[in-house]
Structure 1
Amino acid sequence: MKQPHTIWVLGNGQLGAMMAHAGERLALHVKPIDIMSPQAEPLVLGADDIVTAEREQWPESSLSLQLSQHPHFINAPVFARLADRYSQKSLLDELAIATAPWELVSQQTQAQALHQRYGDRVLLKRRTGGYDGKGQHWLKQSEHTQIPDDWRNEAIAEQAINFDEEISLVGARTQDGRCVFYPLTLNLHQNGILMASLAPLARLESLQTKAETMLSSIMHELNYVGVMAMECFRVDDTLLVNELAPRVHNSGHWTQSACHISQFEMHLRAIAGLPLPEPKVNFQTVMINLIGVEKDNNWLSLSNGELFWYDKAVRPGRKVGHLNLSAKNQAELSQSLTLLSQWLPEQYQAPLEWVKANHN
Structure 2
Amino acid sequence: MKAINLPAKIMLLGSGELGKEFVIAAQRLGNYVIAVDRYDNAPAMQVADCCEVISMLSADDLENIVSQHQPDLIVPEIEAIRTEKLQEFEQRGITVIPTAAATNYTMNRDRIRELAHTKLGIRTAKYGYAQTLDELTAISSEIGFPNVIKPVMSSSGKGQSIVKDRSEVEQAWDYAIAGSRGDTHKVIIEEFIDFEVEITLLTIKQWNAPTIFCPPIGHRQERGDYQESWQPAAIASEYILQAQAIAKKVTDALGGAGIFGVEFFVTKDEVIFSELSPRPHDTGMVTLISQNLNEFELHLRAILGLPIPKIELFDCAASAVILASEKLDTVAYTGVAEALLESDVDIKLFGKPNAHPYRRMGIALAKGADTKIARDKAKAAAKRVNVVGSV
TM-score range, shorter chain: 0.7 to 0.9
CA distance in 2, matches of 1:85, 1:334: 30
Cross-structure match for 1:52:
75
Call closer, same or farther: CA 1:292–1:220 in 2, change over 3 Å. Answer: same
Report whether the alignment pairs 1:111 with 2:137.
yes
Matched, 1:169 2:169: no
Give distance in 1, aligned partners of 2:191 and 2:287: 32
Alignment counterpart, residue 308 of structure 1, candidates 332, 348, 352? 348
Taking the aligned partners of 1:109 and 1:28, their CA distance within structure 2 comes to 48
Please tell me whether residue 280 in structure 1 is matched to residue 312 in structure 2: yes
Question: What residue number does 1:131 align with?
Answer: 155
157-166 vs 106-115, which deviates more? 106-115
What is residue 101 of structure 2 aligned with on the other side? Answer: 77
Aligned pairs (5 A) from 1:130-209 = 130-136=154-160, 139-141=163-165, 143=167, 145-146=169-170, 148=173, 154-176=186-208, 178-209=210-241
SS in 1 for 2:101: helix
Percent identity among equivalent residues? 22
Aligned to 2:324: 292
Alignment counterpart, residue 258 of structure 1, candidates 290, 297, 307 = 290
TM-superposed deviation, 1:250: 0.8
Q: CA deviation at 1:227?
A: 0.4
Q: Distance in 2 between matches of 1:235 and 1:167?
A: 11
Indicate whether 1:230 and 2:270 are aligned. Answer: no
- How much does 1:237 deviate? 3.4
Superimposed CA distance per residue, residues 175-207 of structure 1 (whole angstroms, 9 cap, x where no aligned partner) = 136211101111011222211111014544442
Name the amino acid aligned to 1:192: G
The alpha-carbon deviation at position 330 of structure 1 amounts to 8.6
Q: Does 1:219 align with 2:251?
A: yes
Give 1:239 deviation, angstroms. 1.5
**For each residue in 1:103-156, what CA deviation from the matched residue of structure 2 results, as whole angstroms up to 9, or x when unmatched?**
2226684635642x322223332222x233323355544537458599797222
Task: Report the residue type matching 2:104 in the other structure.
Answer: A
Query: 8 Å contact 1:3–1:273 — kept in the other structure?
Result: no
Who is 1:241 aligned against? 273
In the alignment, the residues of structure 1 paired with residue 302 and residue 379 of structure 2 have an alpha-carbon distance, to the nearest angstrom, of 39
Q: Distance in 2 between matches of 1:220 and 1:135?
A: 30
Aligned 8 A contact 1:174 1:226 in 2: yes
Tell me the equivalent position of 2:37: 34
- Paired residues of 1:304 and 1:326 also in contact (CA < 8 A): yes
* 1:46 positional shift: 4.8
8 A Cα contact 2:105 2:112, kept in partner: yes
Q: Does 1:319 align with 2:319?
A: no
Code of the residue aligned with 2:76 in structure 1: it is: A
State the alpha-carbon separation in 1 of the partners of residues 212 and 185 from structure 2. 37
Count of residue correspondences: 341
- The DSSP-based 3-state class of the residue aligned with 2:221 is strand
Which residues of structure 1 form unaligned runs of 5+?
Answer: 346-360
1:352 aligned residue: none
Confirm or deny: 8 A CA contact 2:286 2:317 kept in the other structure: yes
Q: From the superposition, tell whether residues 274 and 317 of structure 1 become closer, same or farther in structure 2 (CA, over 3 Å).
A: same
CA distance in 1, matches of 2:136, 2:383: 48
Indicate how the Cα distance of structure 1 residues 138 and 92 shifts in structure 2: closer, same or farther if over 3 A, else same. Answer: same
Alpha-carbon distance in 2 for matches of 1:71, 1:333:
42
Distance in structure 2 (CA, Å) of the matches to 1:35 and 1:144: 33
Q: Which residue matches 1:12?
A: 15
CA shift, 1:69, in A, is 7.3
| In structure 1, C-alpha distance between the alignment counterparts of 2:377 and 2:277, rounded to whole Å | 31
In the alignment, the residues of structure 2 paired with residue 31 and residue 219 of structure 1 have an alpha-carbon distance, to the nearest angstrom, of: 27
Match of 1:86 in 2: 110
Rounded to whole Å, the distance in 1 between the matches of 2:136 and 2:19 is 42
Equivalent-residue separation in structure 2 for 1:208 and 1:242 (angstroms): 15
Q: In 2, Cα distance between the equivalents of 1:106 and 1:143?
A: 18
Measured in 1, the distance between the counterparts of 2:158 and 2:53 equals 27
- In 2 relative to 1, CA 54–125 (structure 1 residues): closer, same or farther, beyond 3 Å? same
In the alignment, the residues of structure 2 paired with residue 135 and residue 239 of structure 1 have an alpha-carbon distance, to the nearest angstrom, of: 25
Residue deviations 1:74-124, cap 9 Å, x none?
311111211211111101112111211012226684635642x32222333
CA distance in 2 between partners of 1:215 and 1:334 (Å): 26
RMSD after superposition: 3.5
